[in-house]
Amino acid sequence: MFRPDVDALVAPIRDGAVLAVPKSEAGVAMAATRALIGRGVKDLHLVCVPTSGLQADLLIGAGCVGTIECAGVTMAEHGPAPAFGRAVGKGSIGLVDSTCPAVYAGLQAAEKGLPFLPLRGLIGSDIVARRDDMPIIDNPFAAADPIVAVCAIRPDVALFHAPLADRDGNVWIGRQRMLMIMAHAARETLVTVEEVQESNLLDDEQYGPATIPSLYVSAIARVEKGAWPLGLPERYGEDGEHLAEYCREAATTEGFAEYLDRHVADKRVGAE
């Protein structure tokens, strides 16, 4: 259950894996992401729940991603995601365009063991028109009532960073409920945490309702500031200066490589 470091934690993530990661403000396992890049993993199908920023951009720029499925990739107030933009422009990665509700619906279908979930809001959109895995079907309980069938998203691995775990392998996620959905939907869930406490979180009235039981957690590694330079809700904010520096440098392929030289050990610059 507990791993000595991030390298051991991410060892199960193989080339070609379907990897689910949360949005930038929800608890991103950035230390584990740097370990993945250092190992040279490739051809990931990256599922962003439902968006991403620095994490996806680094993985794409380092040549680790074959396809990305998301509702958007952006550096928020720091500007566009440079490596993502270059890769999409060149056609060097596959892009599965989606929406926030569709990503959540796909994961919820997987966590319930269903092949799909129905969704209405996509009807008439270009997304439905361009995706064969989102057919419009008839509501079996009402006439002339079309709905979209959103195919289940079943990640091989869910990867995120959380504030707290206990010695039994339960993980407290606070208000970030999408992490619970990810853990339920994925075949494996790998988590970095800030702290590990001795007492069982599920026995605590305050922590219990927002705790993922160890049944859904495959492995944990304690990594202080494991989300840096992104923030972790209720623990620390993002490092805005560092993110601005990244955007300036990663605006070119050469600058991206220089960034990896300084901030990612055993870096691998690949096919943006």
For residues 46 and 83, is the Cβ–Cβ distance under 8 A?
A: no
User: What is the per-residue pLDDT for 65?
Assistant: 98
User: Residue holding tokens 């193989």?
Assistant: 14
DSSP H or E run through 46: strand 44-49
State yes or no: pLDDT of 272 exceeds 90.
no
Q: 19, 88, 7: which is closest to 55 by C-alpha?
A: 19
- One-letter amino acid for residue 157 of the chain: V
Pairing of strands 211-212, 18-22: unpaired
Domains of the chain from N-terminus onward: 6-98+154-263 (3.40.1080.10), 116-151 (no CATH)
Q: Rounded to an integer, what distance in angstroms lies between the CA atom of residue 38 and that of residue 269?
A: 10
Write the pLDDT tens digit of every residue in 83-131: 999 999 999 999 999 999 999 999 999 999 999 999 998 999 999 999 9
User: What is the per-residue pLDDT for 257?
Assistant: 95
- 266 falls in which pLDDT band (50, 70, 90)? low
User: What is the per-residue pLDDT for 234?
Assistant: 83
Alpha helix stretches (DSSP H) within 99-210: 100-111, 126-130, 177-185
- Residue length, the chain? 272
- 213 falls in which pLDDT band (50, 70, 90)? very high
Write the pLDDT tens digit of every residue in 150-194: 999 999 999 999 999 999 999 999 999 999 999 999 999 999 999
Compute the C-alpha angle 72/75/76, nearest 5°: 85
Average pLDDT in the 140-148 region? 94
- 269 falls in which pLDDT band (50, 70, 90)? very low
User: What is the per-residue pLDDT for 271?
Assistant: 42
Write the pLDDT tens digit of every residue in 27-67: 999 999 999 999 999 999 999 999 999 999 999 999 999 99
pTM: 0.95
- Average pLDDT over all residues of the chain: 95
